[in-house]
Chain A
Amino acid sequence: MANRKKIGWYLIFTVPLLLIFTLIVLVPFVIGIYYAFFQWDGIGANPMVFNGLDNFVRLMEDERFLRSTWLTVLFTVLSVITVNAVGLAFALLVTSKLKLANLARTMLFMPYLIGGLILGYIWQFVFLDVFTLIGDVTGLESIFFNWLNNEDFALFALVFVFTWQMAGYVMIVYIAGIQGIPGEVIEAARIDGASGWQRFLRITVPLLMPAFTISLFLTLSYGFKIYDVNLSLTGGGPANATELFAMNIYNEIFGYGNYGYGQAKAIVFFVIIAAITLTQVYITKKKEVEM
């Protein structure tokens, strides 16, 4: 009797959420794997044709898709480097003993709160007008021009804006890490005659490994999945030069109406993201230093 009551409470507490979760996340995920083996245009009246692994084979020969994959990898690698470098620099600056450090921290975090879509539009104007203006005034027209119109620079513009968005976010993670380093350790190193740079490389960096794990994980997965900024800043252009993975999937399914093929891409997308993030967490966890 008591046991029955216990199970009853268990169900009352957990079933509502788990039911919604199953319906919204798990079921579509499973159906999605099924769809990936069919050729279908998404119109209910039209037949779904089973074509085995054809969709996945076709992926390997799809120039647009391969280019998009390469661009996404390039974007993610560049972004992970810049976001973490800038974020760590910010964190070191605002954990110094300066009086205005708190104010600066508040300001630097601000962009993250404004959604990616809106950030993209803001920067569209900055590249269009402010960059060209700075170019005119300073004469540095080879650096300051509208990056968004240039097939090579448009991707850098995405990296730039993504860094602007995420630097403040990873800064918060690094701040937590830096504040967790005991002052005595740094002090002891100073007394032993370690220079500022040595103290940073030999003490701060190793002790920040947990913060690196988290930040790398976050920037890797956010970078790989970028969509909103991509949509509003470049829209994939010019000439598909910035059509990244997530956008390629969206366009394949809802733009070209290739539901089955697009879904196969979406499954590959999931496998890649899972593989990258799990490997990365595994590797950096091993390097963490026990205090």
Chain B
Amino acid sequence: MKAIGNWSKEILLILMALVFLSPIYIIFINSFKNRLELYDNTLAFPEEFSLQYYSAAMQRMDFLNAFLNSIYVTVVSVVFIVILSSMTAWMLARSGNWVSTVIFMTLIATMLIPFQTIMMPLMQMVTGITRTTGIPLYNTLSGLIFMNIGFHAALSVFLYHGFIKSIPISLEEAATIDGATKFGVFWRVVFPILTPITATVMILNVILIWNDFLLPSLTLIDKDLRTIPLSVFYFFGEFTIEWNLAMAGLTLTIIPVVIFYIIAQKYIIKGIGEGAVK
């Protein structure tokens, strides 16, 4: 009797999860339908799995280009964020003087500033710098990466700082006595120990930067610089919505996320948990 009860609970649980995800399923099945089929019955299975809407959507969104831009911006930003914020956090955590405390507190306090509060002055400054000095901050992927580093510095330093405080200092001291420079101590001894928190920092930043819309929409003007969220936005803005095409486009944007999730699932859930709790 109890066994049957458990089985029905298992089934109910999965059914609930399936209903929860049903919007994604609906987008997926309708991405194969023609207009007639689509408006006939939204929930029905498609008669044939034709990929024609996918190729059309890929063309209109310039999907491949947007995908590569997103990958480039995300990967380079995250690499810089990991390198620079781990180094900074280590110095701040280990030096223990008042300057470090002030810097650290300032970083934390700025986490309360919403993006909307600084977006206009930031854009004024960035376009001003580009116009007067010629440094290509505005309307370039490198400029966007530069800004990403600035915006995600605080959270990343914060996470590294907490982790570094929890590991013993003895190893570092031993390496220092052996004559290694600070640089050597950090990269050979400390950084490898930081791997778990590095995974968390990477995951959190990948999700935030990959999905970011507002900052790229303000800094990237050229069509061929668009990241995925931008290309989706303009795709929905430019045409009166042809839903079957739109759904093929949406499915395309979800696929990389799902693949990333399947590969890194364990780290993602762990990383999100840690990132939130700290």
Contacts and interface: CB of A to CB of B under 8 A. Distances in A.
B20 interface: yes
A246 B116 contact: yes
B247 A125 contact: yes
Interface in A26-48: 26-29, 31-32, 35, 42
Contacts of A106: 265, 269
B276 A173 contact: yes
Contacts of A112: 272
Contacts of B273: 172-173, 175-176
A29 B114 CA distance: 10
B10 A24 contact: no
B127 to A, nearest CB: 9
Given A14-B103, A17-B88, A23-B150, A122 B265 contact: no
Interface residues of A, number: 83
Interface stretch (A50-58, A141-149, A269-277): A269-277
B35 interface: no
B116 A117 contact: no
Contact of A267 (B17, B91, B115, B117): B117
By size class, the interface of chain B is 35 or more
24 contacts: A9-B182, A17-B87, A17-B153, A27-B121, A32-B120, A35-B121, A98-B9, A104-B13, A104-B17, A105-B269, A107-B20, A111-B21, A114-B253, A117-B213, A117-B233, A122-B250, A169-B276, A172-B276, A173-B277, A218-B276, A225-B116, A266-B116, A266-B118, A273-B112
Interface of A: 9-10, 12-14, 16-18, 20-21, 23-29, 31-32, 35, 42, 93-94, 96, 98-101, 103-118, 121-123, 125-126, 129-130, 133, 164, 169, 172-173, 175-176, 214-215, 218, 221, 225, 227-228, 231-232, 246, 249-250, 253-254, 259, 262-263, 266-267, 269-270, 273-274, 277-278
Interface of B: 6, 9-10, 13-14, 16-18, 20-21, 23-24, 26-27, 30, 39, 41-43, 84-85, 87-88, 90-92, 95, 103, 106-107, 110, 112-122, 124-125, 146-147, 149-151, 153-154, 157, 181-183, 186, 207, 210-214, 229, 232-233, 236, 243, 246-247, 250, 253-254, 257-258, 260-261, 265, 268-269, 272-273, 276-277
